[in-house]
Amino acid sequence: NLNAQIVCLSPSQWLNCFLEMLEVVPEKFHPS
């Protein structure tokens, strides 16, 4: 369960993962 894994992360870890995800996700998945 991805949501459960996110909840278990500390705020700083979550932020790092979030920023990495933004860099990996192709532009077409970002709202225009």
Q: Which residues of the chain have pLDDT under 50?
A: none
pLDDT for the residue numbered 27: 73
pTM above 0.75, yes or no: no
| Domain regions of the chain by residue span | 1-27
With a CB cutoff of 8 Å and minimum separation 6, the contacts of 10 are none
- Tokens 């894994």 sit at which residue? 5
Report which residue type is found at 18: F
| Contact present, 6 and 14 (Cβ < 8 Å) | yes
Helix (H, G, I), strand (E, B) or coil at 2: helix
pLDDT for the residue numbered 5: 61
Q: How far apart are CA 7 and CA 29, in angstroms?
A: 23
pLDDT for the residue numbered 16: 87
